[in-house]
Amino acid sequence: MTAPEITGSIAGEIELEQPFPGYTVTERLGRGGSAAVFRAKDSRLDREVAIKALIPDLEHNEDAVENFFNEARNVARLRHPNVVRGLDVGRAGKYFYFAMEYVRGESLAQKLERLERGRLGEEEALRIVRETAVGLQYIFENGLVHRDLKPGNLLLSAEGGVKICDLGVAREVVAPRQEDFVKASPAYASPEQARGDFDIDIRADLYGLGCTWFQMLTGNPPFQKTTPEETLRAHLEEEPANLRELDPRLSAATSQLVLWLLEKDRDNRPRTPQDFLRKLDKHPLREKLLQQESAAQTPVIQENNDDEN
């Protein structure tokens, strides 16, 4: 779970002062626009955790604090193998923080970045997409929508699993409010998000999954223009490239499923992750992977050829 070095006061102060009661910071993992993430040791339960701390300069910013604790509440209420699990939340001095499970591995974005062509094989991509969809279904069943699904928010554990993270912008699916509007990352924003709608549901996450799948197979998301505004406009006005024209080795089944997720009109996308999973599980490669898993789990019975006495 490596990430760029952190610069600024929070890295040095946390490293020196150890301000989180019961935790010892051992490594800084990364920093976003509003928070920094650290690897730490939970001295009470003798386990590794990841600690997310709000940048001190934002401690009086009501929106930043609300979003921060919104993520803490979301990860605390969700218990699923494909969603990062929350463990603890608190405030120590000027630091708002929460602890979550430490995922030993890397994000999908980091993996794609270190690959020479920035792409995965079709079978591996399908596995990641399926596990993500299973996690999204759980999020959906708990009345939430992530609203910013992208490779950077998918953690790939060293054991091979996929975990959805960064639920800071996730919201409950209730009567929509204009103040709940949030812009997703432009390369993965659904047309309704690009248009500025605030009535966003799980179908926006499925569109983000389609953009992520497209990138895993081609090396780039479907729309990537010079400016964020141009990219958002492309989501509204342009059709994604035909995957099989970009790479004839890809199967027709994969191409069709990606295009289904990338429908401009959300009414033409899967209604729920479960709807998508029903079709995904009929994919020929999915059936092949299941056969391989079954064969690997079948014990080999060796005949005893020793002569009987």
Q: State the Cα–Cα distance between residues 103 and 73, nearest whole angstrom.
A: 19
| DSSP assignment letter at 150 | S
Respond yes or no: is residue 148 known to be catalytic: yes
Count CB neighbours of 230 within 10 A: 12
* Interstrand relation of 86-92 and 95-101 (parallel, antiparallel or unpaired): antiparallel
- Token pair in block for residue 101: 């499970």
Q: State the Cα–Cα distance between residues 52 and 74, nearest whole angstrom.
A: 14
> Which residues have CB under 8 Å from 238's CB, separation 6+?
223
> Which residues have CB under 8 Å from 217's CB, separation 6+?
119, 120, 122, 125, 243, 247, 250, 254, 258
Catalytic: which of 42, 88, 148, 166? Answer: 148
What kind and span of H or E run contains 154?
A: strand 154-157
Count CB neighbours of 276 within 10 A: 24
Q: Which of 84, 137, 159 is nearest to 280 (CA)?
A: 137
- Evaluated on CA atoms 90, 85, 165, 107, the torsion sign reads positive
Q: Per DSSP, what are the bridge partners of residue 96?
A: 91
> Which residues have CB under 8 Å from 133's CB, separation 6+?
206, 209, 273, 276, 277, 280
- At 283, give phi and psi (nearest 5°): -65, 135
Tell me which residues are annotated as active site: 148
